[in-house]
Structure 1
Amino acid sequence: MGSAQSKHKITAQDKAILDMKVQRDKLKQFQKKVEVVLNREDSLARELLQKGDKSRALLALRRRKYQQQMINKTDMQLFNLQNLVEQIEFSLVQKDVLFGLEQGNKVLSQLNSEMRIEDVERLADNTAEAIAFQKEVSNILNANMSAEDDEAVLEDLAKLEREEIDKLQLDIPQAPQHAMPKHDVAEANRSNTLGNLEQNSEEEEEPRRNEPLLA
Structure 2
Amino acid sequence: MGQSSSNQVKITPQDRSILDLKLQRDKLKQYQKRIEGVLAREREIAKEQLALGNKDRALIALRQRKYQETLLSQTDSQLETLQKLVSSIEFSLVEKDVLFGLKQGSAVLKEINKEMDLNMVEQLMSDTAEGIAYQEEVSALLSSKISAADEEDVLAELASLQAEQVQSKLPSVPVVPLPERQPAVEEPAQEEQEPEPERQAERRQAILA
Q: Where on the TM-score scale, by shorter chain, does this alignment land: which range? A: 0.3 to 0.5
Structure of higher CA gyration radius: 2
Output the TM-score relative to the length of structure 2.
0.33
Output the TM-score relative to the length of structure 1.
0.32
Query: Looking at both structures, which has the greater relative contact order when contacts are Cα pairs under 8 Å and sequence separation is at least 6?
Result: 1
